[in-house]
With several copies, the nearest count.
Chain A
Amino acid sequence: MSMLSEKPAMAGRLLAYVDALSEGVAQEMERDPSVFLFGLDVDDHKAIQGSTRGLVQRFGPNRVFGTPLSEDAMTGVAIGAAMAGMRPIHVHIRMDFLMLCMNQLVNIAAKAHYMFGGAVSVPMVVRCMIGKSWGQGAQHSQGLHSLFMHIPGLKVVAPSNAYDAKGLMAAAIRDNNPVVFVEHRLLYFTDAYVPEESYTVELGKARVTAPGTDITLVGVSNMVMECLRARELLAQVGISAEVVDLVSLQPLDSDTVLASASKTGKLLMVDNAWTMCGASAEVLARVAESEEGAGVRMARMGFAPTTCPMSPELEKVFYPNAATIAAKAHSMLRPGSDWMPDEKAAQLSYQMTFRGPF
């Protein structure tokens, strides 16, 4: 099968996601002088929460620079530079702000190669972060990847761990198409084994992150972490869950999902986004359309169908978490019996170390 190897290599050192991002960029900038990185505040001392740390010192202000608050035109600038043969990385501290860039991304970046019959290509990376917690609220918390998945010509990836963050970054930069690179704020300080040398993670392949037999949990970005924890909770009650990390959203490796789901017979997809017309709708639809998918019971979870509230009590209910995922999976397998794991036990350690505000 063509999915990614089951586990990232246990080689290299433990590295945080945030450092894997900057290392991935730095190695590509070293390798290829046409790579440059820009965007609001990429060159200040906060360095996009550390993910651009050291780049301006190392590569200078011609290749790493901040911009005015003009996301629309700056996206056009990135695309124009890409058409001219550069490989820009345009950084946004929140995915919500991409709504200012939709015209350039949807009407130009996605279409240029096609609309000009191959005469032009647009090799660029749009880095953006999904915000969560500490009252980020309505406009600093959205996971809007499905909007980009909908448009042919764009690629979309969403690494859930430091290994993929670095490897996908290299692959995205080298790709000759516009790639929306979806990061998650709560993952920034999670560690993984990451090789020191440069490597790529292939775009368009999912990964079975943890094996299981009773149900398939498919996660996106940070929700992979929640699924893995849910898997542990489920194991405590004798349920064996397989966790699939989509890794790449467009191209979407539904074959790997399908293989797992047709094996377990149950599929629960958990997205870092709303479900309506979301990635989770697409995954379920693909399974439903397929021969092998006939008979698989399916469900999906994501943001509540509301705007994201600031209130901590409501924010908690707005998101799926390990406990609600486990409970949902449990209800799919054992319909009659009500079960909800202890919320405390379900909290992921990285959530407990994180502290606001931005």
Chain B
Amino acid sequence: MKDTSDTRRLFRQLLRIRLIEERVAAIYPSDKIKSPIHLSIGQEAISVAVCDVLQPQDIIAVSYRGHAGYLAKGGDLKGMIAEMYGKPAGCAFGKGGSMHLVSAEAGVMGASAVVGTHIPLAAGQALAAKLRGEDKVIVCFFGDGATEEGCFAETLNFAALHKLPLFFVCENNGYAIHSPLKKRWANLDICARVRAYGVPAVRTETSDVTVMRAAAEAAVAAIRDGEGPQFLEAVTYRWLEHVGPNEDYAAGYRSRDEMEPWENEDPVARLAAVMDAAWVEKTRAEIAAEIDEAVEFAEQSPIHQQEDLYRHVYAQ
């Protein structure tokens, strides 16, 4: 990896998401964020790599673990922090919280906290794009656990049948909450499963954002060429606990040894090492300032009026 405009762009995204997630984790014990948070620390490179090959009109679908995707696709930071604070200035008017980020402007479909539910929704978005003849790729990010829900299999079949412009991105972090893959899958080769439904699948086993970007680029190009849905299994690792701001290696279900290779390969650190140090510092400072401003915005922004409870039940 070299210090090029490409790597700078990718690094900046990675660093920005990392610093934002760290700030959220730091705020959390203050109880200002009264919403369950599922942080992406350790997994950021997937969102960054994939979103880097997307166009503004493309749409991504994310889950409750959606901060990285939302930010990588260009979701507004102030709107995200204010959303966690439950303020009307939040991207979901403070009604969704951390688990339900959304951005019509940036092309982030509203996130769901019922595992797997957003997978067929993404297919519906892709069907709409196809019916209207739009040049639009839909990306759906989900975890390894989500592939166990029946709707995943149903959606694979439907997407393949209709050759939908849909990119399935499985962030395989090896766990669903505390349950490891081998307690959940008889056959660990998820790509084989997916291919058997008629969807081409590739696997990456790295934190190297450029390798993942290349895989994503090929898949998205195939989709734009009308070849139908593609699947990427991005093997990754969740550094912190499932929900909340802390490490949980003492809990016993996994050891920190398992994480260390990932920490050693951390793309934020590795890219920082090859970048111009002054530029890195400047970038870090810029991001910190942006985060300060967003947190300040969220903290200062007004709270809800009781009447707001009754808004948005039905669309007019």
Is A80 a contact of B128 with CB atoms below 8 Å?
yes
Stretch at the interface among B3-11, B46-54, B118-126: B118-126
Chain B residue numbers with a CB within 8 Å of A327 are none
Q: What residue of chain A has the Cβ atom nearest to residue B94's Cβ?
A: A311
Chain B residues positioned under 8 Å from A69 (CB to CB): 115-116, 145-146, 148-149, 176, 184
Measured CA separation A100–B152 after assembly (Å): 13
Q: Tell me, in angstroms, the Cα distance from A244 to B316 when the chains sit together.
A: 27
Q: Beyond A73-B158, A135-B35, A314-B95, is A84–B112 a contact (Cβ under 8 Å)?
A: no
Query: Contact size class for A?
Result: 35 or more
Neighbouring A residues of B87 by C-beta, 8 Å: 311
**Is the C-beta of A62 less than 8 angstroms from some C-beta in chain B?**
yes
Specify which of A135, A138, A155, A317 lies most central, judged by the most chain B CB atoms within 10 Å of its CB: A135
Answer yes or no: A295 CB below 8 A from chain B CBs: no
Within 8 A of B (CB), among A107-121: 107-108, 112-121
Residue of A nearest to B250 (CB): A45
B282 is an interface residue with CB less than 8 A from chain A = no
B86, B117, B145, B149: the one contacting A108 at CB < 8 Å is B117
Find chain B residues with CB under 8 A from A44 CB: 177-179, 253
A-facing residues in B203-258 (Cβ within 8 Å): 243-244, 251-253
Stretch in B16-24, B292-300, B305-313 touching the partner: B305-313
Q: Does B91 contact A (CB under 8 A)?
A: yes
- B90: interface (CB < 8 Å): yes
Take A77-B127, A123-B315, A311-B95 as given contacts and tell me if A358 and B100 are in contact as well, using a CB distance cutoff of 8 Å.
no
A74 to B115, CA, bound (A): 15
Decide if A76 is an interface residue (CB 8 Å cutoff). Answer: yes
Q: Which of A70, A84, A100, A355 contacts B129 (CB 8 A)?
A: A84
- Find chain A residues with CB under 8 A from B146 CB: 69
Measured CB to CB, the closest approach of chain A to B284, in angstroms, equals: 29
Q: B92 on the interface (CB 8 Å rule)?
A: yes
Chain B: number of interface residues, binned into ranges: 35 or more
Instruction: Give bound CA distance, A280 to B121, whole Å.
Output: 34
Q: Which residues of B contact A63 (CB under 8 A)?
A: 131
**Complex contact B151–A72 (CB within 8 A):** yes
B124–A81 CB distance below 8 A: yes
Q: B163-178 vs A: 1/0 string, CB under 8 Å?
A: 0000000000000111
Q: Complex Cα distance A68/B312, Å?
A: 33
Q: Is A299 an interface residue (CB 8 A)?
A: no
CB-defined contacts of A152 to chain B, threshold 8 Å: 313
Could you tell me the distance in whole angstroms from the C-beta of A275 to the nearest C-beta in chain B?
A: 14
Q: In the complex, how many angstroms separate the beta carbon of A31 from the nearest chain B beta carbon?
A: 17
Specify which of B128, B148, B304 lies most central, judged by the most chain A CB atoms within 10 Å of its CB. Answer: B128
- Whether the Cβ atoms of A116 and B96 lie closer than 8 Å is yes
CB–CB A311/B313 < 8 A: no
Known contacts A81-B124, A137-B96, A309-B95; is-contact A358 B243 (Cβ 8 Å): yes
In the bound complex, residues from chain A placing their C-beta under 8 Å from that of B97 are 135, 137, 310-311
**A314 contacts across to B, CB distance below 8 A:** 86, 94-95, 304, 306, 308-309
Complexed CA–CA distance, A318 and B307 (Å) = 11
Contacts A68-B184, A117-B312; A134 near B34 (Cβ below 8 A) = yes
Does A301 belong to the interface (CB within 8 Å)?
no
Q: Encode A70-95 as 1/0 by CB contact (under 8 A) with B.
A: 11111111111111111010000000
The interface stretch among B65-73, B102-110, B188-196, B269-277 is B102-110
B110 touches A116 (CB 8 A): yes
A residues near B, CB below 8 A? 36, 40-41, 44-46, 62-63, 66-86, 88, 96-97, 99-100, 103-104, 107-108, 112-123, 133-140, 152-153, 155, 176-177, 304-307, 309-314, 317-318, 355-358
